[in-house]
Chains A and B, each alone.
Chain A
Amino acid sequence: MVKILAVDDSASMRQMVTYTLKQGGYEVTEAVDGADALAKAKGGQFDLVITDVNMPKMDGITLVRELRALPAFKFTPILLLTTESAPEKKQEGKQAGATGWLVKPFDPDQLINTIKKVVN
């Protein structure tokens, strides 16, 4: 099964993302911020990371950079959850090594369609 690491500091967003992805047949691990995600990434294998940008402790952009430095995550697709109000984060994210992004707000279908762009 495709394993996804979902990172967001908002519990409701995590719930929504996790629920949707599980419905979509993916295996999901949650992380509450960048630091938590990095720790979990080091302890496991994931086929995709989907992360919020604005988070306490470690933001999404830094997380991408840190993940890309790990051999196991050198090529792993990483998607950023960006927002309308911060389009510049997309470029910043790409430069850090992100694969792509999904703009908030999104609905479950958009999420699944976006995931399908990078994993089976």
Chain B
Amino acid sequence: MGSETLDELLDLGEQLDITVAAACKQRLNEALGGGQPIELKGDRLQRVDTAGVQLLLAFARAAADGPGWGWHGGEVPEAVRTAAQMLGVERELQGHSV
């Protein structure tokens, strides 16, 4: 029952694009409010667009200043990595080890 396992785990589902951006922001915002380091799960992501990447970017900045965040399993999900690379922001979306 170590306290490390109390990280907030947030599954991004299959889609992180403009159609779900508002809803996703809501969930991320709640997670940020929890105060625990946040672990994002993105292994099922199929569709990531600019709106999604932009949302992650804003989140990453807020989380880095706050509770900290990282990718579940440590690896940047493929869909996120491709889109972030294309948009020139892959460095900030690496995630910190939590």
Question: Is B18 part of the contact surface with A, judged by Cβ < 8 Å?
Answer: yes
Q: B66: shortest Cβ distance to chain A, in Å?
A: 29
Q: B56: shortest Cβ distance to chain A, in Å?
A: 18
Q: Which residue of B lies closest to A47 (CB)?
A: B47
Q: Which residue of B lies closest to A120 (CB)?
A: B47
Q: A11: shortest Cβ distance to chain B, in Å?
A: 32
Question: Is A19 part of the contact surface with B, judged by Cβ < 8 Å?
Answer: no
Interface size of B by Cβ–Cβ distance < 8 Å? 4
Q: Mark B37-51, 1 if CB is under 8 A from A, else 0.
A: 000000000010000
Question: Which residues between 8 and 35 of chain A lie within 8 Å of chain B, taking CB atoms?
Answer: none
Q: Which residue of A lies closest to B46 (CB)?
A: A120
Contact count A vs B, C-beta below 8 Å: 5
Q: Which residue of B lies closest to A73 (CB)?
A: B19
A75 & B19 in contact (Cβ 8 Å cutoff): yes
Interface size of A by Cβ–Cβ distance < 8 Å? 3
B47 & A75 in contact (Cβ 8 Å cutoff): no
Question: Which residues between 47 and 94 of chain B lie within 8 Å of chain A, taking CB atoms?
Answer: 47
Question: Which residues between 12 and 45 of chain B lie within 8 Å of chain A, taking CB atoms?
Answer: 17-19
CB contacts (< 8 Å) of B47 on chain A: these are: 120
A14 to B26, CA, bound (A): 41
CB contacts (< 8 Å) of B17 on chain A: these are: 75
Q: Which residue of A lies closest to B49 (CB)?
A: A75
Question: Which residues between 71 and 114 of chain A lie within 8 Å of chain B, taking CB atoms?
Answer: 74-75
CB contacts (< 8 Å) of B18 on chain A: these are: 75
CB contacts (< 8 Å) of A120 on chain B: these are: 47
Q: B80: shortest Cβ distance to chain A, in Å?
A: 15
A87 to B8, CA, bound (A): 53
A74 to B23, CA, bound (A): 15
Residues of A near any B CB (own CB < 8 A): 74-75, 120
5 A–B contacts, CB within 8 A, in A order:
A74-B19, A75-B17, A75-B18, A75-B19, A120-B47
Which 5 residue pairs across A and B have the least CB separation, nearest first?
A75-B18, A75-B19, A120-B47, A74-B19, A75-B17
